[in-house]
Amino acid sequence: MNRFLVDGTNLILQLALDAAAERQRVSAHNLANVNTPNFKRQEVSFEEKLKAALFAQPKLQLTRTHEKHLPRELELSDLQHEVVTDKSTSMRPDDNNVDIDREMVLMAMNQMHFNAVTQVLNNRYSALRYILQEGRR
Amino acid sequence: MKMFQAMQVSASGLTAERLRLDLIASNIANAHTTRTETGEPYRRKTAVFAAVLAEAGQAGEGVRVTAIRTDPTEPRLEYDPTHPDANEEGYVAYPNINVVQEMVDLVTAVRSYEANVTVLNAGKNMFLKALEIGRG
């Protein structure tokens, strides 16, 4: 992988964007089913997994250039968000557990999170562009 | 692509709620229909919603109307011997429609429709924001 353009931070930001997009889809799914009896809401788990993966990263990283090299415990690039179904609650007599207010708040939060991550990525890329352009003079 | 899938999920919600609105409109419009093609009074219609689920660990794919159910409750009998559809005893069978209940359903359907529109717009804004990546 090209270390110059895709470093660890960019990779994490990319994964975070993926997770936020999936979270948006799950919000859409939950709100589309607000009137479906027996429906149980879904959610995306990503931040906990990322935290675990970051803590599991060894201080000294060795690059694998051969398939028979020992693998690291957890490759950051293998990290994936996970969709889980929340079966523990019930909001209504028909066993639907979509709380429309909470769902809307979560969606608004997710949207701001997505915008924030996009902003950070943009800042990184504009710094990169600045370096490239100024070095040319 | 996930972002477009999110919009399709919202679209499925919009379609389902719209159908529910159509049924409510039909119910209210036919609240006094004593004669249908079958010769019986009109019967209340409701939509049966079901979630479209992908395999475990995958995000669901929205909502689907699996059936339009006809409410089996008995028609309401009203005494009116002059009515052309009155039976031998002078009673007219009116549809089993409670307008108050239909109005409540109408409000929930409209609000759910609006919620789906909000989600759709949120997804659209996210997509537009993603297009700005790298533009500087």
Annotated domain spans of chain B: 2-130
| Contact in structure between B96 and B44 (CB atoms under 8 Å) | yes
Output phi, psi for A60, to 5 deg. Answer: -105, 115
A47 in a structural domain? yes
Average pLDDT, chain B: 91
B-chain residues within 8 Å CB-CB of A22?
2, 59
**Residue B104 φ then ψ, to 5°:** -65, -45
**How many domains, chain A?**
1
Rounded to the nearest angstrom, the minimum Cα separation between A12 and chain B is 15
| Residue B102: exposure state from Cβ atoms within 10 A (0-12, 13-18, ≥19) | middle
* Contact flag B17-A26 (C-beta cutoff 8 Å): no
- pLDDT of B19-61, one tens digit each? 999 999 999 999 999 988 888 899 999 999 999 988 877 888 9
Identify whether the C-beta of residue B54 lies closer than 8 Å to the C-beta of residue B61: yes
Residue whose token pair is 């209940």: B101
B59–A22 CB contact, under 8 Å: yes
In a domain, A83, yes or no: yes
Residue B1 reports pLDDT greater than 70: no
Residues of chain B neighbouring A34 (CB-CB closer than 8 A): 13, 112, 115
Note whether B63 contacts A107, CB cutoff 8 Å: no
Residues facing residue B65 across a β-bridge = B49
B101 backbone dihedrals φ, ψ, rounded to 5°: -60, -40
Q: Which of B20, B49, B113, B116 to mutate to test the interface with A (most CBs of A within 10 A)?
A: B49
Beta strand extents in A13-112 (DSSP E only): 42-45, 82-85
Domain that holds residue A83: 8-135
Q: How far is A9 from chain B (nearest CA, A)?
A: 15
In degrees rounded to 5, what are phi and psi of residue B69?
-90, 145
| Distance spanning both ends of chain B, measured CA to CA | 24
Does residue A1 lie in a domain region?
no
Q: Residue B82 carries which side chain, given as an amino acid letter?
A: T
A28/B119 Cβ within 8 A: yes
Assess if residue A3 is contained within a domain.
no
Residue A2 is assigned to a structural domain of this protein: no
Helix A100-134 crosses helix A8-32 at what angle (to 10 degrees)? 150
- Whether the predicted pLDDT of B125 surpasses 90: yes
Spatial contact of B113 and B14, defined as CB atoms under 8 Å apart: yes
Mean pLDDT of A23-30: 93
State the Cα–Cα distance between residues B32 and B70, nearest whole angstrom.
16
pTM beyond cutoff 0.90 = no
Please indicate if any CB of chain B lies within 8 Å of the CB of A104. yes
Average pLDDT of span A28-38: 92
Interface pTM, i.e. ipTM: 0.84
The percent of residues above 90 in pLDDT, for chain B, comes to 71
